[in-house]
Amino acid sequence: MRRLVFAFVVLGALRGEAKPEVVAMPVAPPVDPDRGNFWREITEPHKEEVTNILFKARQAINQADNSLVADYDPTGEGRMKVYREVNGMLRYARRLAPDNLEVLRFYGQTSDAIGKTRQAMEAFQSAIDQVGAEKAGIEITGRLGEIYLRLGQLDDALRYLRIAQGPIVPGQPITGQILVHLSSALAQRGLTSDAIEVLANALPMNPPYYSNEMQVVAFALAVMYDRDEQRTAAFETLDHLRAALQDQMGPMVQNALATLRYAPAEDEQYYLGLLYEAVDNYVEARAEFALYAAAGDLPYRRRALDHIAAIDARPHAVPLTTKQLRMKKLQLLQPVTPMPVP
């Protein structure tokens, strides 16, 4: 009997030691709502790959554009190299997702930048055909209007630029560029007053600061006033810019204008000529106005020649030659003859 009781005691002790410990189970990961989505796999079979391509393309384009604005890439060669590489990625993404609006937008933008105008227009028009011009976004309608402006098709340019017209948004260069191109298209139609009104209404009365986009629009307004021979209004606009930007007006406005693709292309010389003249760099200003005047029978050639004549009339506006500088130095070194005492 004692042996039996002992056996039960030992068995109970062994059972207590062998009792398993409680182990916390790992938390199950959240269920992907798109997992096993049959219709998504049919309609967007390459969604993940296209999303990755768009992310890389967006990052590369932003970095290339910022380098251009910051004057890290003054010639623009680095930016064009990036755009060519990204364009190839986006061409592949378009084959995977031919109806993706963001793919069409970036593909059209990069194609236009590297000179593939036909492909850019086809991509933008494809996006507009899908959702309509009002819903396509200013990045699409604005750039398509710019292309039509460069091609000289003013009716189509005005139509799309009007749709894309909106307020200036800091950090979005396209908002300022659209206003400048719309103003240029109206001026080419002979509607100079409407062209000035587009730019003037977009600027606040007394802005506390000038973003890059506001600098582009304000300077384009000064150019438009100057071409319309409203010289007082042009000088007042430039004075506001100078008061806000002070000594940095020249480099800051020049960097802001680097993002603008001029239409017609010869306008770049006129813009730079007025900028150099505004910051008292008369030699550079004269050279830019001379290049504009020599480009052919342009609408504002006579006004450019007026600027050249005004610069030439300034004392010492044209730099002295090496021989003239040497003669002037020799004159300064000549001994001074004392005046006779009466």
Residue found by looking up tokens 């937008």 in the block: 105
User: 77-111 as b/e, with b when 16 or more CB fall inside 10 Å?
Assistant: eebbebbeebbebbbebbeebeebbbbbbbbbbbb
Contacts of 210 (CB under 8 A, 6+ apart): 218, 241, 244, 245
Which residue, among 219, 257, 225, has the nearest Cα to 238 in the 3D structure? 219
Q: What is the pLDDT of residue 150?
A: 94
Q: What is the pLDDT of residue 34?
A: 55
Q: What is the pLDDT of residue 205?
A: 82
The span from the CA of 116 to the CA of 242, in Å, is 38
The span from the CA of 164 to the CA of 134, in Å, is 8
Instruction: Return the domain boundaries, the chain.
Output: 46-136
The reported pTM is 0.78
The span from the CA of 37 to the CA of 342, in Å, is 111
State which amino acid sits at residue 29: P
Total residue count of the chain as it appears in this document = 342
CA angle 177, 181, 182 (to 5 degrees): 115
Fold for domain 46-136? 1.25.40
The span from the CA of 44 to the CA of 46, in Å, is 6
pLDDT of the chain, 342 residues: tens digit per residue: 555 555 555 555 555 554 455 555 566 667 565 555 544 455 566 788 999 999 999 999 888 887 766 666 667 788 889 999 999 999 999 999 998 999 999 999 999 999 999 999 999 999 999 999 999 999 999 999 999 999 999 999 999 999 999 999 998 999 999 999 999 999 999 999 999 999 999 998 878 789 999 999 999 999 999 999 999 999 999 999 999 998 899 999 998 998 899 988 999 999 999 999 999 999 999 999 999 999 888 999 999 999 999 999 987 645 555 555 455 444 444 444 444 433
Which residue, among 241, 303, 240, 242, has the nearest Cα to 267 in the 3D structure? 303
Q: What is the pLDDT of residue 334?
A: 47
Q: What are the CA-CA distances from residue 166 to residues 203, 209, 281 (Å)?
A: 12, 20, 34
DSSP 8-state code for residue 320: P
